[in-house]
Chains A and B, each alone.
Chain A
């Protein structure tokens, strides 16, 4: 729509004093952006309850089970946090490019490529270096592999105008096919017969657990990377340039910002976060690389990113929440006879509710004051 300015006579009365409105407005926006996602989550829980009731389960018992399995006690918390660690990282693969205006959903592929990169380095180095150095090299390799993978989607976007959503999703399938090809062929450890897999990572190089817990150090990786990502986006010139490009690419070009380089760099950073998740999964959980690396952390990461509105700090909280829901998958199956896809249905409902809540910004009665301020200007 072209702008249709409201009558704006010079010195029109009633223009609000800057300080008077700014305080109200300073509170309103953050409150709204916290309350709306929470409202969306509650709505999703409600709809999910109806769904469970139709499926023959008592919704309140299901809620109780989810809570118990996710946050009911230290053991449950540990399960949740173990799952939250990769989610924080894969979420950044969507969240960071989103600040640039790109919808990247290649999280799963970047995780797989990161896991592969890390594994190859881990197997290659073996015990030639101290474990700390090997882990560092594995992390670097995982980040590089995942980063380059998503950077490819960014490059196709920038240089060829290829829709990054579709290309990144296709890259998922290609990465998975590549993984299968390697573990069925060149990488296969024929002595391991359970399923086609690579050789096992040398135990010396495993990522340990925090003493006294089952939680591996991947959680720290996730937390640290999220904080760094937040600072990078909100407080540095690089982040400002990225947000500008995401806010309006034409304005970014007008200001001479290197849109292409920014696209590649941000996609690389996002991909490398997911790649690090792959490394964490390999070094702390799987120990061998095989198809079970593809465990939907990537897709769940997309959801985490959207629910947290692409804010890396919020990502930490949402990842813990969703980690809890993922952790409750088993109990739903055992105690309520609900298939494991129940968790996927719930994720879908949450995603849809959160998207709908986006349309409510500035519409709910409490938050409509800025419409008034707009009219008086």
Chain B
């Protein structure tokens, strides 16, 4: 397959992987960004991602007869978001009870969300569901590798558009300022008569909606199947990625693309025949995440941009 390109195939495969693989990171990290801006952490987005992937795939498969193969996957995308919101509502409610830790709730939600996804997703492992259409931006090229690399999903583009939109939302809308106020100083928000519970609930649900759509990217675009191993920690990496992006939606975009690229390393090397370290390269995104956290974090001071209420009990 890659004879024609030789080693050039590696950067091309990484580019392709970046375009394909960064979408779930992007959606989940933007979702976590909204969540954390309100002062709560949601580690459960890993479970949300899985449930979203399963829901999108299942709905797309089941509805294709009713709405046709073009709209079925879009219905799946919406369903994935809504399924995410349901999990978000559970997390939002539970993590705001007194003495309940949001990190622990997140762990429980990983187990619950993935359990639910595997339970309900069992019948969808075999059949092929209709996939989302893609923009064929490589049609001009004669190289099949380039053509397949430049198949871009509309979901990815939507994600790219959401990032600046979110940035604007936090800066120039009253809702955005309210979320930031709740996340940075709940006491101040309370004095303004803002309901902390409602704002956090809304933020967590909105974030989970995006994370659910991130799952749809996995099952309806790339890799475009539903298996129980489809996520393998991407939801969690996206949570770490928000720290790296300093809670800035635009930087979430760049960070997601970096992670998408890192994830493509293993397959990229395999595609040119270097596969003795396939599994080692598969660990690359995890190691990268860890390295990035080591570099970004500091034991002595709170990180710039970190919402003040994050990780505190209240």
- Residues of chain A with a CB closer than 8 A to B280's CB: 177-178, 181
Per DSSP, chain A at the interface is helix
B293 contact set on A, CB distance < 8 A: 156, 160, 162-163, 166-167
* Measured CA separation A167–B287 after assembly (Å): 10
Q: Are B107 and A181 in contact (CB under 8 A)?
A: no
Q: Are B99 and A339 in contact (CB under 8 A)?
A: no
Query: Is the CB of B173 closer than 8 A to any CB of chain A?
Result: no
Instruction: Give every chain B residue within 8 A of A184 (Cβ-Cβ).
Output: 278-279
What are the interface flags for B88-125 relative to A under an 8 Å C-beta threshold, 1 for contact and 0 otherwise?
Answer: 00100010011111011101110111111111001000
Is B276 part of the contact surface with A, judged by Cβ < 8 Å? yes
How far is the CB of B294 from the nearest CB of chain A, in Å?
A: 5
Residues of A within 8 A of B115 (CB): 341-348
Which positions 40-56 of chain B face chain A at CB distance < 8 Å? 43
* Interface residue total, chain B, C-beta cutoff 8 A: 48
A299 and B294 in contact (CB under 8 A), knowing A173-B233, A339-B119? Answer: no
A289 vs B239: C-alpha distance when bound (angstroms): 32
Which B residues lie within 8 Å of A181 (CB)? 277-280, 283
Contacts of A185 in B (CB 8 A): 276
Q: Is the interface on chain A under 10, 10 to 19, 20 to 34, or 35 or more residues?
A: 35 or more
CA distance A355 to B298 in the complex (A): 30
Q: Evaluate contact between B98 and A303: CB separation under 8 angstroms.
A: no
Asked if A105 meets B107 with Cβ closer than 8 Å, knowing A170-B290, A341-B122, A344-B118, the reply is yes
Task: Point out the residue from A158, A166, A178, A355 that lies within 8 Å of B236, measured CB to CB.
Answer: A166
Main secondary structure of the interface of B (DSSP, over half): helix
Could you tell me the distance in whole angstroms from the C-beta of A155 to the nearest C-beta in chain B? 10
> Does residue B139 face the partner (Cβ distance < 8 Å to A)?
no
Does A345 contact B112, Cβ atoms closer than 8 Å? yes
The answer to whether the Cβ of B282 comes within 8 Å of any Cβ in the partner chain is yes
Inter-chain contact B112/A348, CB cutoff 8 Å? yes
A136: CB under 8 A from chain B?
Answer: no
* B256 close to A (CB within 8 Å): no
Complex Cα–Cα for A171 and B145 (A): 34
Q: How far is the CA of A346 from the CA of B299 in the complex (A)?
A: 38
| B253 is an interface residue with CB less than 8 A from chain A | no
Check if B126 is an interface residue, CB within 8 A of chain A. Answer: no
A19 close to B (CB within 8 Å): no
User: For the complex, is A180 an interface residue (Cβ under 8 Å from B)?
Assistant: yes
Q: Enumerate A213-239 residues with CB–CB distance to B below 8 Å.
A: none
Contact between chains at B240 and A170 (CB < 8 Å) = yes
> What mask results when residues 323 to 347 of chain A are scored 1 for a CB within 8 Å of chain B, else 0?
0000000000000001111111111
Binding site for A on B (CB under 8 A): 43, 90, 94, 97-101, 103-105, 107-109, 111-119, 122, 232-233, 236-237, 239-240, 243, 276-280, 282-283, 286-287, 289-290, 293-294, 297-300
Q: A340-B118, A355-B94 are in contact. List 16 more A-B contacts (CB 8 A).
A: A159-B299, A160-B294, A160-B298, A174-B287, A177-B279, A177-B280, A177-B282, A177-B286, A180-B282, A185-B276, A341-B118, A341-B119, A348-B111, A348-B116, A355-B104, A356-B100
Chain A to chain B contacts (Cβ below 8 Å), 29 pairs: A103-B104, A103-B107, A156-B294, A161-B297, A161-B298, A166-B240, A166-B289, A170-B240, A170-B286, A171-B286, A173-B232, A174-B286, A177-B280, A178-B279, A181-B278, A185-B276, A302-B111, A338-B119, A339-B122, A341-B118, A344-B114, A345-B115, A348-B114, A352-B112, A355-B104, A356-B97, A358-B99, A358-B100, A359-B97
